[in-house]
Every structure is written in structure tokens, then in C-alpha cells.
């Protein structure tokens, strides 16, 4: 990816959006002492360049009843089946993240479930996918760090 040059105003806008992507452009403009139109134009430019691809919604999974987190390492019967298996994993809404990996597993994914019984059902769904030889599951005792903001602040600062 080509590196884009951002000026200090762009960085300040990004810093505010990283901390709260729902901050109104008028509020950003007031904090930075620039016009809301300038904020709008700058954000649109960063969207067109592919630097900003959207905003995210952060939810409290505990309030939704999905407190059980597990990581599932998937062994494939054959490496070339990875894309097919990933497409089947996308059909399981409880699989929230999946990576093709090197090392012990062919695919490593994160699941969210209501409880251990539900997690077992999800793992059985994964194991039933054609091409999956077997899986290994690790239960998360506690999600201690889930914060991409620190990395985003650093990465965007490197786009000078």
C-alpha cells in the first residue's frame, strides 16, 4: 500500500475519531477551531484514499448474553480447502474472527457464545464443515485487552 501524507489537521481529526467514531463533525471542528466543512472534506478525502473504511460499533456482549469466548484452531484435511471452509465459517454468526495461519492450525478463529452448551454446539457446527479434519478449542477465561485504538494512533502518526 502506498503511504499517504497527512498533515497535522488530518492527524488531529483521526485522533478524535479513533477515540470516538461517533463524534459529530461540528464537535471536531469546534475542538480543532476549524470549520465543519473542512472536517467533512478531510474525512471524505481520507475515505477516498482508503485510510478510513468506515466506523465501528462497540457493544457490551455481556448485556447481549454472549459472554463465552473461545478460540478454535482448525485442522484441514487439505490446505487447498481453506477458502471453502472460510466461506462456511462466515455462515456461522458466532464465529466473529477467522485467520488463515501458519504453524499448528490451518485456520484459527474466535467464537462468541451464550454459555458452554452453546459453545459446544458452535464447535460441532465447525467440525461438521466439509474439509475440517478436527479442531482444538481454548476457552477464554477473560478478555483482558481488546483495544485497537493505541495501534491506530501510532499507525496514523506514521503516515507523515
The grid cell for 138 is 481454548
Q: Averaged over 42-58, what is the pLDDT? A: 89
How much of the chain, in percent, has pLDDT values that exceed 70? 97
| pLDDT tens digits, 3-40 | 667 899 999 999 999 989 999 999 999 999 999 999 99
Q: Is the pLDDT of residue 153 over 80?
A: yes
Identify which of 123, 143, 115 has the alpha carbon closest to the alpha carbon of residue 59: 143
Alpha-carbon 35 to chain mean position:
31
Q: Is the pLDDT of residue 1 over 60?
A: no
Q: What is the pLDDT of residue 2?
A: 53
Burial of 12 per CB tally in 10 Å (0-12, 13-18, 19+):
middle
Gap between the Cα atoms of 152 and 132, Å rounded: 35
The predicted model gives 117-134 an average pLDDT of 98
The three cell numbers of residue 108 are: 484459527
Amino acid at each position: 500500500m502506498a503511504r499517504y501524507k497527512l498533515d497535522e489537521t488530518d492527524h488531529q481529526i483521526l485522533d478524535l475519531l479513533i477515540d470516538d467514531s461517533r463524534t459529530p463533525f461540528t464537535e471536531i471542528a469546534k475542538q480543532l477551531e476549524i470549520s465543519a466543512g473542512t472536517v467533512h472534506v478531510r474525512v471524505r478525502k481520507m475515505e477516498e484514499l482508503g485510510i478510513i473504511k468506515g466506523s465501528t460499533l462497540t457493544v457490551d456482549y455481556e448485556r447481549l448474553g454472549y459472554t463465552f469466548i473461545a478460540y478454535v484452531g482448525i485442522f484441514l484435511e487439505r490446505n487447498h480447502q481453506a477458502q471453502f471452509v472460510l466461506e462456511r465459517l462466515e455462515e456461522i454468526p458466532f464465529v466473529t474472527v477467522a485467520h488463515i495461519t501458519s504453524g499448528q492450525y490451518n485456520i484459527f478463529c474466535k467464537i462468541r457464545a451464550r454459555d458452554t452448551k452453546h459453545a459446544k454446539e458452535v464447535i460441532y457446527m465447525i467440525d461438521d464443515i466439509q474439509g475440517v479434519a478436527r479442531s482444538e478449542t481454548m476457552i477464554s477465561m477473560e478478555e483482558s485487552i481488546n483495544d485497537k485504538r493505541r495501534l491506530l494512533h501510532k499507525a496514523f502518526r506514521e503516515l507523515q
